[in-house]
Amino acid sequence: MKGKLVVSLLILSLTTLLLALLSPEPAETIVRFFTGPFRNIYAFGSFLSSALLLVIAGTGISICFRGGQFNLGGEGQVYSGAAASLTAALLLPLMPGFIAKPLLIAAAMITGFLIAALSGWLRHRFSIHELISSYLTSGALVFFCDFLISGPLRDEESFLIATQRIPGAYTLAQLLPPSPLHSGIFIAAAVAAASHIFLHRSVWGYRLRMFGEQSTFARFGGISPRTYRIMPIGISGALYGLAGAVALLGIHYRGIQGFTAGLGWNGIAVALIAGTSPVMTLYAALLVAYIEIGISSAMAGAAVTYDLGLIVRGAILIVVTLKVLKRKQEELL
């Protein structure tokens, strides 16, 4: 816990420093950074709705890490999940919402699972490191989804590079209008709870953790290496896909080019800050969402907002695994 506090404070002070350096009026910018998410209902709802996406994405990556694997394909998996959901929503005949929603979410999760599982299988079958194969497949898929949204699915009448809206019956209920907070928050809570039960109360979770810590020992214990090379990264892919679907059905309601960008990397940041426990995932997701919303309200309109977000995300990853900052039991990697 102390280690996480040190990491959090370090990240917050780094961000503040960067904002002060890049802003023409440092004092005002810093005040806006810290008060940003609480400025009004809309900002607060945006803060919670990005945090809930990060809970889903971060939980998946935590499971992947516990299984001893590294999934760098988050960007492509979130985007492809969202695109699968979107394609199904726009092309299938109109259905009642209670049938459509689970179907669209399942489409996204299966898509994410298959993409990530491919990397796990390549690692098992051909010893190709999943770090590289997951990034490369994701790189290709990001451009493919850009193509879908800017080409075949594009709404010609829109000024944005965007598709038509999905039918109103398919969207997740808004909880705090006019803010984007939506009922996906229950999905995020269910994911966090289910993953805790899976990892710590089920035999599969036990095997997964054992395989992650000592794959040779696990193999002697009769644990199938194929299953446990595919399962952890596959689960993270499925949850990335789910995050993509929730972003579509809960926030954007239509495909916009690059609309899920950043979620993949932030999921990794959340999992690394959180270490292992689901409770900590909630904390880490809130922290990362706070920083993202804080930056965008502090630098509103400035051209460097996006770049600053990148710099802060990078800085988080660079400091978060430094062992000098944490005690031994908090080590994840």
Partner 1 sequence: MIQSLLQYTLPILLASFGGLVSDLAGTLNIALESLILLGAFVTYVVSIHAQSPLAGIMAGSLASGAVVLVFYTLALKGRANIFVTGLGLNLLIPGAVATASSLMYGTRGVLRFDNFPLQPTVLSVPLPLLFSYAMLACIWYLISASSAGLRIRAMGLHPHVAQIRGVSPFRTRIAALVISGLACGAAGGLLVLSLRAYVPNVSAGRGWIALAAIYLGKRRPWGVLAATVLFGAAELAANIAQGMFALPSPLFMALPYVAAVTALIIQGLISHRKKPS
- Give the helix/strand (H/E) hosting 11: helix 2-22
Min CB(122)–partner 1 separation in Å: 7
Min CB(8)–partner 1 separation in Å: 16
Min CB(213)–partner 1 separation in Å: 15
Chain-centre distance of CA 51, in angstroms? 9
Min CB(198)–partner 1 separation in Å: 24
Residue 50 or 171 with smaller CB distance to partner 1: 50
138-to-81, 114, 256, 301, 320 alpha-carbon distances in Å: 12, 12, 18, 30, 24
Residue 48 or 287 with smaller CB distance to partner 1: 287
Min CB(160)–partner 1 separation in Å: 16
Q: Residue 172 in 3-state DSSP?
A: coil
Single-letter code of the amino acid located at 177: P
Q: Are 144 and 84 in contact (CB under 8 A)?
A: no
Residue 10 or 43 with smaller CB distance to partner 1: 10
Binding site for partner 1 (CB under 8 A): 22, 70, 72, 122, 124-129, 131-133, 135-137, 139-144, 146-147, 150-151, 225, 265, 268, 272, 303-304, 306-311, 313-318, 320-325, 333
Q: Tokens in use for 45?
A: 């709802």
Min CB(232)–partner 1 separation in Å: 16
DSSP codes of every residue in 115-133: HHHHHHHHHHHH---HHHH
21-to-18, 149, 313 alpha-carbon distances in Å: 5, 37, 17
Residue 67 or 184 with smaller CB distance to partner 1: 67
In total, the chain counts a number of residues equal to: 333
Q: Are 64 and 332 in contact (CB under 8 A)?
A: no
Residue 94 or 216 with smaller CB distance to partner 1: 216
Residue 14 or 106 with smaller CB distance to partner 1: 14
- Give the helix/strand (H/E) hosting 37: none
Min CB(169)–partner 1 separation in Å: 31
Q: What CA–CA distance (Å, rounded) separates 144 from 139? A: 9
- Asked if residue 178 has a cis previous peptide bond (ω within 30° of 0), the answer is yes
Residue 98 or 126 with smaller CB distance to partner 1: 126
Q: Are 49 and 250 in contact (CB under 8 A)?
A: yes
Q: Tokens in use for 135?
A: 């990034």
